[in-house]
């Protein structure tokens, strides 16, 4: 699992900072999460292949999270895209994108599937044999979801020494990987645990931006491998966090601690502060394993 930060600052683009957008590589997919202005420029800078993006997840319809989407959709067309594209986002996103395509008479030559979200509770919105994606309902000034990306449990690992020792035929190997016992010709049953090892622990990534402090998400994201949680403000501006329905770094750390996540990644910083290091300093007083997102940075898990 690998996370690329394209942009992680609040509100407006600046010469050295970009609004929110991320790419998550998980389960042979390359998912785009939010699409603020400058997303496609950042994709080029980081040498991430446009053609691998088949699923885009938009948390909410504030400009710093989706104003880059119309441009990216148009660029896909100019690049000769033929594969279908799936866009998941709040109700209204289809109207917003298709109106611009209509006014510019620039309909795509590939099919776009819009999956408009309205549920107030968590729901699975994507699933295949390797990974699932579910919404994490958040509290913001408009309808907003975070997203929880979860690997599925993989196959068990064959014990080469054990199958050789007990002279297990190769015809049984896939069944062993699937967790089944083996019955030998003489009736002896070899338990699966004797012939294989547990698969790697599935990884998960919780994306929570933008939101007011919302402790009731803890149960859903419990023990996530990594949590990205917005930290627009420091505690010195906690009154602004309440007013704008954002979070402070300390509140993000409290969520991470309660959810027992392995790693907390902070982002969506207000640019009023002289250093993003202040966010880590504040959060580390509550939760020990704190990372700072920054444009162009990537994390491997």
295 is in an annotated binding site: no
Residue 196 burial by Cβ neighbours in a 10 Å radius (0-12, 13-18, 19+)? buried
Closest to 283 (Cα-Cα) out of 263, 300, 297: 263
What is each CA distance from 30 to 26, 51, 55, 116, in whole angstroms?
Answer: 7, 10, 8, 20
Q: Is 55 annotated as a binding residue?
A: no
Neighbours of 268 (CB within 10 A): 29
Active site residue 64: yes
Instruction: Please state, in angstroms and rounded to a whole number, the distance separating the CA atoms of residues 185 and 189.
Output: 9
Find the catalytic residue in 64, 186, 198, 289: 64
86 is in an annotated binding site: no
Angle at 146 between CA 42 and CA 95, to 5 degrees: 75
How far apart (Å, rounded) are the C-alpha atoms in residues 84 and 115? 13
- Angstrom distance (rounded) from CA 260 to CA 34: 25
Determine contact, residues 49/25, Cβ cutoff 8 Å. Answer: no
How crowded is residue 137: how many other Cβ atoms within 10 Å of its Cβ?
Answer: 19
Q: What does the alpha-carbon distance between residue 145 and residue 134 come to, in Å, rounded to a whole number?
A: 9
Binding-site members for Zn(2+) are: 60, 62, 64-65, 140, 210, 268
Which residue numbers are catalytic? 64
Binding-site members are: 60, 62, 64-65, 140, 210, 268
């Amino acid at each position: 699992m690998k996370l690329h930060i394209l942009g992680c600052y609040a509100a407006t683009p600046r010469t050295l900072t970009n609004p929110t957008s991320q790419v998550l590589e998980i389960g042979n997919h390359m998912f785009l999460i939010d699409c603020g202005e400058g997303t496609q420029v950042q994709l080029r800078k980081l040498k991430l292949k446009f053609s691998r993006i088949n699923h885009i997840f938009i948390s909410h319809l504030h400009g710093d999270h989706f104003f880059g989407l119309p441009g990216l959709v148009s660029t896909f067309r100019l690049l000769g895209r033929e594969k279908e594209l799936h866009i998941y986002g709040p109700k209204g996103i289809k109207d917003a994108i298709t109106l611009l395509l209509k006014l510019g008479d620039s309909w795509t030559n590939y099919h776009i599937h819009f999956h408009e979200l309205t549920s107030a509770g968590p729901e699975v919105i994507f699933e295949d044999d390797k990974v699932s994606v579910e919404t994490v309902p958040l509290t913001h000034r408009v309808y907003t979801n975070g997203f929880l990306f979860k690997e599925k449990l993989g196959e068990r690992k064959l014990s080469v020494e054990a199958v050789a020792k007990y002279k297990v035929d190769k015809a049984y190997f896939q069944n062993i990987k699937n967790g089944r016992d083996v019955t030998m010709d003489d009736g002896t049953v070899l338990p699966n645990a004797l012939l294989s090892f547990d698969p790697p622990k599935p990884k998960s990534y919780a994306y929570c931006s933008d939101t007011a402090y919302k402790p009731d998400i803890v149960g859903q994201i419990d023990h996530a491998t990594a949590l990205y949680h917005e930290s627009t403000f420091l505690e010195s501006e906690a009154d602004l966090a309440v007013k704008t329905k954002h979070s402070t770094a300390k509140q993000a750390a409290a969520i991470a601690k309660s959810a027992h996540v392995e790693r907390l990644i902070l982002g969506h910083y207000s640019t009023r502060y002289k250093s993003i290091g202040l966010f880590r300093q504040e959060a580390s007083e509550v939760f020990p394993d704190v990372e700072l997102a920054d444009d162009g940075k990537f994390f491997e898990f």
